[in-house]
Structure 1
Amino acid sequence: MLLNFKLGGEYVLLALVKVKVGLIVKEICLIVLRNQVESLRFVKSLFLLLLNNMLSQHLCFLVII
C-alpha cells in the first residue's frame, strides 16, 4: 500500500511493506521524505502522529532522499 501526501510542506511517501521474518509476517512502515526536511520538529511530529495512531503496531523506518 502506498500513500502519497503533502505534510508540513514536504512531500511524503508512506509505504506499508509486508516482510516475512521466519514464520511471522510483519508490516514495516517506510516513510520516504522527498526534498529536505525543514526541521527535526517536523520529523518528530510525524513519528508522534504514527505512534499515536494505528501504525504504532508497525516498525517504522525513515528514509530521506
Structure 2
Amino acid sequence: MFLTNNEVVRLTGRHRRTQQKQVLEALGIVYIENGIDELVISTVHVERVLSDITHHGIETGPNFNALRKVS
C-alpha cells in the first residue's frame, strides 16, 4: 500500500527527508507528509511511474546526435 521508510531510502538513495523530496519530485513521484514528518508514498503510484520510465526507454548514455549537431 505505502512504501516503508527503508524503501524510500532505497528508491531515493538518500536518508534526509529534504533530499528524498528532491529526488521524488525529480522523478515525478507524488508524496504527502503525515503528521509525524514521514513521507507517505503509494506503492502503486511508484510502480506506474517506474513502469512508464521503463516503457519510454529513457536513455542514460551520451546523446551523440546532439554532439554532432554542435560540431
Question: As a proportion of its length, which structure holds more strand?
Answer: 1
TM-score (norm 2): 0.30
TM-score (norm 1): 0.33
Structure showing greater Rg:
2
Q: Identify which of structures 1 and 2 has the higher relative contact order when contacts are C-alpha pairs closer than 8 Å and 6+ apart.
A: 1
